[in-house]
Structure 1
Protein backbone atom coordinates (compact mmCIF):
# COMPACT_ATOMS: atom_id res chain seq x y z
CA UNK A 1 0.00 0.00 0.00
CA UNK A 2 1.06 3.55 -0.57
CA UNK A 3 2.30 5.54 2.41
CA UNK A 4 -0.19 8.40 2.76
CA UNK A 5 1.90 10.16 5.39
CA UNK A 6 4.78 10.69 2.96
CA UNK A 7 4.61 13.69 0.67
CA UNK A 8 3.59 12.93 -2.90
CA UNK A 9 6.70 12.71 -5.02
CA UNK A 10 6.86 15.17 -7.89
CA UNK A 11 7.49 13.44 -11.19
CA UNK A 12 10.60 14.83 -12.88
CA UNK A 13 10.99 13.14 -16.27
CA UNK A 14 14.32 12.37 -17.87
CA UNK A 15 15.18 13.98 -21.20
CA UNK A 16 12.82 12.66 -23.87
CA UNK A 17 10.45 11.12 -21.31
CA UNK A 18 6.82 12.12 -20.83
CA UNK A 19 6.09 15.20 -18.78
CA UNK A 20 4.03 14.75 -15.63
CA UNK A 21 1.00 16.26 -17.43
CA UNK A 22 1.39 13.91 -20.40
CA UNK A 23 1.64 10.93 -18.06
CA UNK A 24 -1.38 12.07 -16.06
CA UNK A 25 -3.43 12.53 -19.24
CA UNK A 26 -2.43 9.09 -20.54
CA UNK A 27 -3.27 7.39 -17.25
CA UNK A 28 -6.57 9.26 -16.94
CA UNK A 29 -7.54 8.01 -20.42
CA UNK A 30 -6.52 4.50 -19.37
CA UNK A 31 -8.81 4.62 -16.32
CA UNK A 32 -11.74 6.02 -18.33
CA UNK A 33 -11.37 3.23 -20.90
CA UNK A 34 -11.19 0.69 -18.07
CA UNK A 35 -14.45 2.00 -16.57
CA UNK A 36 -16.22 1.63 -19.92
CA UNK A 37 -14.98 -1.96 -20.27
CA UNK A 38 -16.49 -2.79 -16.87
CA UNK A 39 -19.78 -1.00 -17.56
CA UNK A 40 -20.14 -2.60 -21.00
CA UNK A 41 -19.42 -6.03 -19.45
CA UNK A 42 -16.35 -6.61 -21.61
CA UNK A 43 -14.80 -8.58 -18.80
CA UNK A 44 -12.17 -10.51 -20.77
CA UNK A 45 -10.87 -7.29 -22.32
CA UNK A 46 -10.87 -5.74 -18.84
CA UNK A 47 -8.88 -8.68 -17.46
CA UNK A 48 -6.29 -8.10 -20.21
CA UNK A 49 -5.44 -4.81 -18.45
CA UNK A 50 -3.82 -6.81 -15.63
CA UNK A 51 -0.46 -8.60 -15.43
CA UNK A 52 -0.24 -12.37 -15.06
CA UNK A 53 0.88 -11.97 -11.42
CA UNK A 54 -1.79 -9.43 -10.41
CA UNK A 55 -3.02 -9.06 -6.85
CA UNK A 56 -6.60 -7.76 -6.63
CA UNK A 57 -7.18 -6.88 -3.00
CA UNK A 58 -10.05 -5.25 -1.07
CA UNK A 59 -9.42 -5.10 2.68
CA UNK A 60 -12.22 -4.72 5.20
CA UNK A 61 -12.11 -1.25 6.66
CA UNK A 62 -12.31 -1.12 10.46
CA UNK A 63 -13.90 1.38 12.83
CA UNK A 64 -11.12 2.40 15.18
CA UNK A 65 -10.53 5.37 17.50
CA UNK A 66 -8.68 8.28 15.91
CA UNK A 67 -5.57 7.54 17.99
CA UNK A 68 -5.47 4.11 16.28
CA UNK A 69 -6.14 5.30 12.72
CA UNK A 70 -3.12 3.31 11.52
CA UNK A 71 -5.25 0.16 12.11
CA UNK A 72 -8.23 1.33 10.02
CA UNK A 73 -7.07 -0.39 6.83
CA UNK A 74 -5.37 -3.70 7.60
CA UNK A 75 -2.30 -4.46 5.50
CA UNK A 76 -2.28 -7.40 3.14
CA UNK A 77 -2.20 -10.78 4.89
CA UNK A 78 -3.28 -9.56 8.32
CA UNK A 79 -7.09 -9.77 8.15
CA UNK A 80 -9.90 -11.40 6.21
CA UNK A 81 -10.51 -9.14 3.15
CA UNK A 82 -13.55 -8.81 0.90
CA UNK A 83 -11.35 -9.78 -2.07
CA UNK A 84 -7.91 -11.37 -2.25
CA UNK A 85 -7.62 -12.65 -5.80
CA UNK A 86 -5.00 -13.44 -8.36
CA UNK A 87 -5.56 -13.45 -12.12
CA UNK A 88 -6.68 -17.08 -12.12
CA UNK A 89 -9.40 -16.40 -9.54
CA UNK A 90 -10.52 -13.28 -11.40
CA UNK A 91 -10.81 -15.36 -14.59
CA UNK A 92 -12.84 -18.02 -12.76
CA UNK A 93 -15.30 -15.33 -11.62
CA UNK A 94 -15.58 -13.98 -15.16
CA UNK A 95 -16.11 -17.46 -16.60
CA UNK A 96 -18.85 -18.13 -14.04
CA UNK A 97 -20.56 -14.88 -15.08
CA UNK A 98 -20.28 -15.94 -18.73
CA UNK A 99 -21.83 -19.33 -17.95
CA UNK A 100 -25.04 -17.92 -16.45
CA UNK A 101 -24.43 -20.09 -13.39
CA UNK A 102 -23.32 -17.25 -11.09
CA UNK A 103 -26.66 -16.65 -9.36
CA UNK A 104 -25.49 -13.36 -7.87
CA UNK A 105 -24.98 -11.99 -11.39
CA UNK A 106 -27.91 -13.54 -13.24
CA UNK A 107 -29.27 -11.39 -14.74
CA UNK A 108 -26.05 -9.37 -14.89
CA UNK A 109 -25.75 -6.21 -12.83
CA UNK A 110 -25.82 -2.87 -14.56
CA UNK A 111 -22.97 -0.72 -13.33
CA UNK A 112 -21.66 2.78 -13.81
CA UNK A 113 -18.08 3.32 -12.71
CA UNK A 114 -16.98 6.93 -12.27
CA UNK A 115 -13.25 7.27 -11.68
CA UNK A 116 -11.49 10.52 -10.91
CA UNK A 117 -9.12 12.44 -8.68
CA UNK A 118 -6.17 10.66 -10.27
CA UNK A 119 -2.93 11.20 -8.39
CA UNK A 120 0.39 9.89 -9.66
CA UNK A 121 2.05 9.02 -6.35
CA UNK A 122 5.40 7.83 -7.64
CA UNK A 123 7.20 6.91 -10.85
CA UNK A 124 10.04 4.41 -10.59
CA UNK A 125 13.12 4.39 -12.81
CA UNK A 126 11.83 1.36 -14.77
CA UNK A 127 8.60 3.26 -15.63
CA UNK A 128 6.44 1.56 -12.98
CA UNK A 129 3.79 4.00 -11.77
CA UNK A 130 1.98 4.10 -8.43
CA UNK A 131 -1.42 5.80 -8.65
CA UNK A 132 -4.44 6.55 -6.53
CA UNK A 133 -7.94 7.20 -7.87
CA UNK A 134 -11.29 7.87 -6.23
CA UNK A 135 -14.36 6.03 -7.52
CA UNK A 136 -18.12 5.86 -7.37
CA UNK A 137 -19.79 2.72 -8.62
CA UNK A 138 -23.55 2.47 -8.97
CA UNK A 139 -24.89 -1.06 -9.24
CA UNK A 140 -28.41 -1.95 -10.28
CA UNK A 141 -29.46 -5.59 -10.21
CA UNK A 142 -32.74 -7.19 -11.24
CA UNK A 143 -35.73 -4.95 -10.50
CA UNK A 144 -35.17 -3.54 -7.04
CA UNK A 145 -31.58 -4.01 -5.87
CA UNK A 146 -29.33 -0.98 -6.09
CA UNK A 147 -26.11 -0.04 -4.36
CA UNK A 148 -23.72 2.87 -4.45
CA UNK A 149 -20.11 2.14 -3.60
CA UNK A 150 -17.52 4.85 -3.04
CA UNK A 151 -13.89 4.64 -2.14
CA UNK A 152 -10.44 4.76 -3.62
CA UNK A 153 -8.06 2.47 -5.45
CA UNK A 154 -4.29 2.27 -5.23
CA UNK A 155 -2.70 0.72 -8.31
CA UNK A 156 0.75 -0.27 -9.43
CA UNK A 157 1.02 -0.07 -13.23
CA UNK A 158 3.78 -1.25 -15.53
CA UNK A 159 4.43 -0.12 -19.10
CA UNK A 160 4.09 -3.20 -21.31
CA UNK A 161 4.39 -3.03 -25.11
CA UNK A 162 3.25 0.59 -25.28
CA UNK A 163 0.31 0.11 -22.93
CA UNK A 164 -0.31 -0.13 -19.19
CA UNK A 165 -0.85 -3.27 -17.11
CA UNK A 166 -2.01 -3.26 -13.51
CA UNK A 167 0.03 -5.56 -11.28
CA UNK A 168 -1.61 -4.67 -8.00
CA UNK A 169 -4.94 -3.08 -7.16
CA UNK A 170 -6.00 -2.27 -3.62
CA UNK A 171 -9.63 -1.14 -3.33
CA UNK A 172 -10.69 0.64 -0.15
CA UNK A 173 -14.40 1.24 0.36
CA UNK A 174 -15.58 4.23 2.37
CA UNK A 175 -17.78 1.92 4.47
CA UNK A 176 -16.77 -0.92 6.72
CA UNK A 177 -20.02 -2.89 6.43
CA UNK A 178 -21.49 -3.72 3.02
CA UNK A 179 -25.27 -4.03 3.25
CA UNK A 180 -25.72 -5.39 -0.27
CA UNK A 181 -26.95 -8.98 -0.71
CA UNK A 182 -23.75 -9.76 -2.58
CA UNK A 183 -20.75 -8.00 -4.04
CA UNK A 184 -19.92 -9.90 -7.20
CA UNK A 185 -18.88 -6.96 -9.38
CA UNK A 186 -15.37 -5.69 -10.02
CA UNK A 187 -14.09 -2.23 -9.07
Structure 2
Protein backbone atom coordinates (compact mmCIF):
# COMPACT_ATOMS: atom_id res chain seq x y z
CA UNK A 1 0.00 0.00 0.00
CA UNK A 2 1.50 3.32 -1.02
CA UNK A 3 1.66 6.37 1.23
CA UNK A 4 -1.09 8.00 -0.88
CA UNK A 5 -3.57 5.17 -0.25
CA UNK A 6 -2.65 4.33 3.34
CA UNK A 7 -5.41 4.75 5.87
CA UNK A 8 -4.84 7.07 8.81
CA UNK A 9 -3.52 5.15 11.81
CA UNK A 10 -6.74 5.71 13.79
CA UNK A 11 -9.10 4.34 11.14
CA UNK A 12 -10.72 1.00 12.03
CA UNK A 13 -12.75 -0.43 9.18
CA UNK A 14 -16.10 -2.16 9.63
CA UNK A 15 -17.21 -5.21 7.68
CA UNK A 16 -18.94 -4.80 4.31
CA UNK A 17 -22.34 -5.95 5.61
CA UNK A 18 -22.37 -3.32 8.39
CA UNK A 19 -21.12 -0.64 6.02
CA UNK A 20 -23.85 -1.46 3.48
CA UNK A 21 -26.53 -1.53 6.15
CA UNK A 22 -25.46 1.88 7.45
CA UNK A 23 -25.38 3.32 3.92
CA UNK A 24 -28.95 2.06 3.40
CA UNK A 25 -29.98 3.63 6.73
CA UNK A 26 -28.67 7.03 5.57
CA UNK A 27 -30.45 6.72 2.22
CA UNK A 28 -33.75 5.96 3.96
CA UNK A 29 -33.24 8.75 6.50
CA UNK A 30 -32.58 11.34 3.75
CA UNK A 31 -35.65 10.14 1.86
CA UNK A 32 -37.85 10.51 4.96
CA UNK A 33 -36.52 13.98 5.71
CA UNK A 34 -36.86 15.15 2.09
CA UNK A 35 -40.51 14.02 2.17
CA UNK A 36 -41.20 15.76 5.52
CA UNK A 37 -42.10 12.33 6.87
CA UNK A 38 -41.29 13.15 10.50
CA UNK A 39 -43.66 10.52 11.97
CA UNK A 40 -41.45 7.83 10.38
CA UNK A 41 -38.16 9.71 10.91
CA UNK A 42 -38.49 10.43 14.65
CA UNK A 43 -38.45 6.71 15.60
CA UNK A 44 -34.94 6.53 14.07
CA UNK A 45 -33.73 8.76 16.91
CA UNK A 46 -32.67 7.30 20.24
CA UNK A 47 -34.27 8.84 23.35
CA UNK A 48 -31.02 10.63 24.23
CA UNK A 49 -30.49 11.99 20.69
CA UNK A 50 -28.69 15.34 20.47
CA UNK A 51 -28.36 17.44 17.30
CA UNK A 52 -25.79 20.23 17.22
CA UNK A 53 -24.59 22.74 14.67
CA UNK A 54 -21.49 24.51 16.01
CA UNK A 55 -20.57 28.03 14.91
CA UNK A 56 -18.21 27.75 11.92
CA UNK A 57 -15.28 30.17 11.87
CA UNK A 58 -12.63 30.90 9.27
CA UNK A 59 -9.20 30.67 10.82
CA UNK A 60 -5.82 31.68 9.47
CA UNK A 61 -4.16 28.78 11.29
CA UNK A 62 -5.20 25.49 9.60
CA UNK A 63 -4.22 23.50 12.69
CA UNK A 64 -7.10 25.04 14.64
CA UNK A 65 -10.61 23.59 14.54
CA UNK A 66 -13.00 25.34 12.10
CA UNK A 67 -15.61 25.77 14.83
CA UNK A 68 -15.91 28.00 17.88
CA UNK A 69 -15.71 25.71 20.94
CA UNK A 70 -18.93 25.46 22.94
CA UNK A 71 -20.94 27.80 20.68
CA UNK A 72 -23.86 26.29 18.77
CA UNK A 73 -26.28 27.68 16.22
CA UNK A 74 -28.51 24.67 16.94
CA UNK A 75 -28.53 22.50 20.06
CA UNK A 76 -31.60 20.26 20.00
CA UNK A 77 -32.78 17.05 21.61
CA UNK A 78 -35.12 14.40 20.26
CA UNK A 79 -37.92 15.86 22.36
CA UNK A 80 -37.38 19.44 21.17
CA UNK A 81 -37.28 18.36 17.53
CA UNK A 82 -40.47 16.33 17.99
CA UNK A 83 -42.44 18.94 19.91
CA UNK A 84 -41.13 22.22 18.49
CA UNK A 85 -40.14 21.37 14.93
CA UNK A 86 -41.84 18.28 13.52
CA UNK A 87 -45.25 19.24 14.92
CA UNK A 88 -45.43 22.33 12.72
CA UNK A 89 -45.81 20.02 9.69
CA UNK A 90 -48.76 18.09 11.12
CA UNK A 91 -52.08 18.73 9.35
CA UNK A 92 -53.54 20.53 12.40
CA UNK A 93 -50.58 22.94 12.59
CA UNK A 94 -49.36 23.57 9.02
CA UNK A 95 -51.83 26.42 8.46
CA UNK A 96 -50.13 28.33 11.29
CA UNK A 97 -46.55 27.59 10.16
CA UNK A 98 -46.52 30.52 7.75
CA UNK A 99 -42.81 30.21 6.99
CA UNK A 100 -43.44 26.70 5.69
CA UNK A 101 -46.34 27.47 3.31
CA UNK A 102 -45.74 26.59 0.61
CA UNK A 103 -43.24 23.96 1.73
CA UNK A 104 -39.59 24.29 0.80
CA UNK A 105 -38.37 21.74 -1.74
CA UNK A 106 -35.41 20.07 -0.08
CA UNK A 107 -32.91 17.48 -1.26
CA UNK A 108 -30.22 15.99 0.94
CA UNK A 109 -27.26 14.33 -0.73
CA UNK A 110 -25.33 12.20 1.74
CA UNK A 111 -21.96 10.95 0.50
CA UNK A 112 -18.60 9.61 1.68
CA UNK A 113 -20.19 7.63 4.51
CA UNK A 114 -17.36 6.12 6.55
CA UNK A 115 -18.07 4.02 9.64
CA UNK A 116 -15.79 3.08 12.49
CA UNK A 117 -16.59 1.02 15.57
CA UNK A 118 -17.55 3.20 18.53
CA UNK A 119 -16.41 2.86 22.11
CA UNK A 120 -19.34 0.58 23.03
CA UNK A 121 -20.40 -2.66 21.45
CA UNK A 122 -22.96 -2.10 18.69
CA UNK A 123 -22.20 1.61 18.30
CA UNK A 124 -20.46 3.24 15.35
CA UNK A 125 -19.03 6.67 14.62
CA UNK A 126 -20.05 7.80 11.14
CA UNK A 127 -18.41 10.59 9.18
CA UNK A 128 -20.23 11.79 6.09
CA UNK A 129 -20.61 14.73 3.77
CA UNK A 130 -23.99 16.28 3.14
CA UNK A 131 -25.12 18.74 0.52
CA UNK A 132 -28.51 20.32 1.12
CA UNK A 133 -30.41 22.05 -1.66
CA UNK A 134 -33.37 24.21 -0.62
CA UNK A 135 -35.83 25.93 -2.97
CA UNK A 136 -38.72 28.05 -1.74
CA UNK A 137 -41.40 29.21 -4.13
CA UNK A 138 -39.62 30.53 -7.24
CA UNK A 139 -36.45 31.69 -5.48
CA UNK A 140 -33.06 30.33 -6.60
CA UNK A 141 -31.79 27.24 -4.82
CA UNK A 142 -29.71 27.68 -1.70
CA UNK A 143 -26.94 25.09 -1.52
CA UNK A 144 -25.26 24.29 1.80
CA UNK A 145 -22.32 21.86 2.01
CA UNK A 146 -21.45 20.41 5.40
CA UNK A 147 -19.72 17.56 7.17
CA UNK A 148 -21.51 15.39 9.70
CA UNK A 149 -20.34 13.21 12.56
CA UNK A 150 -22.91 10.81 13.95
CA UNK A 151 -23.02 8.21 16.65
CA UNK A 152 -25.38 5.38 15.68
CA UNK A 153 -26.45 2.32 17.63
CA UNK A 154 -27.48 -1.08 16.33
CA UNK A 155 -30.89 -2.10 17.60
CA UNK A 156 -33.20 -5.03 16.84
CA UNK A 157 -35.17 -3.07 14.20
CA UNK A 158 -32.11 -1.57 12.48
CA UNK A 159 -30.18 1.55 13.48
CA UNK A 160 -30.81 4.44 15.86
CA UNK A 161 -29.17 7.87 15.83
CA UNK A 162 -27.65 8.75 19.20
CA UNK A 163 -26.08 12.08 18.22
CA UNK A 164 -25.34 14.22 15.18
CA UNK A 165 -23.02 17.19 14.76
CA UNK A 166 -23.20 19.09 11.49
CA UNK A 167 -20.37 21.48 10.59
CA UNK A 168 -21.11 23.81 7.69
CA UNK A 169 -18.34 24.68 5.27
CA UNK A 170 -19.47 28.31 5.12
CA UNK A 171 -19.33 30.63 8.12
CA UNK A 172 -22.36 32.58 6.85
CA UNK A 173 -25.29 30.18 6.58
CA UNK A 174 -27.97 31.12 4.03
CA UNK A 175 -30.48 28.39 4.84
CA UNK A 176 -33.91 29.54 6.03
CA UNK A 177 -33.88 26.95 8.86
CA UNK A 178 -30.75 25.27 10.21
CA UNK A 179 -32.75 22.31 11.46
CA UNK A 180 -33.39 21.40 7.80
CA UNK A 181 -29.99 19.80 7.47
CA UNK A 182 -30.64 17.38 10.28
1:111 corresponding residue in structure 2: 106
1:73 corresponding residue in structure 2: 67
Counterpart of 1:74 in 2: which secondary structure?
strand
Structure-2 change in CA distance of 1:184 and 1:146 (3 Å): farther
Cα deviations across residues 82-121 of structure 1 (Å, max 9, x unaligned)? Answer: 2100011101211023212222222111111111101113
2:34 equivalent to 1:39? yes
1:27 corresponding residue in structure 2: 22
Structure-2 change in CA distance of 1:154 and 1:177 (3 Å): same
Cα deviations across residues 128-155 of structure 1 (Å, max 9, x unaligned)? Answer: 1111111111111122152111111100
Q: Distance in 2 between matches of 1:8 and 1:31?
A: 23
1:86 corresponding residue in structure 2: 77
TM-score after normalising by structure 2: 0.85
1:14 corresponding residue in structure 2: none
Please, which runs of 5 or more residues in structure 1 have no aligned partner? 1-5, 12-18
Structure 1 segments of 4 or more deviating over 4 A? none
2:11 corresponding residue in structure 1: 9
- Of 45, 63, 75 in structure 1, the residue corresponding to residue 58 of structure 2 is 63
Instruction: Give the superposed CA RMSD.
Output: 1.9
* Equivalent pairs, count: 171
- Residue 9 of structure 1 contacts residue 122 of structure 1 at CA under 8 Å; is this kept in 2? no
More strand per residue: 1 or 2? 2
Q: Distance in 2 between matches of 1:8 and 1:48?
A: 32
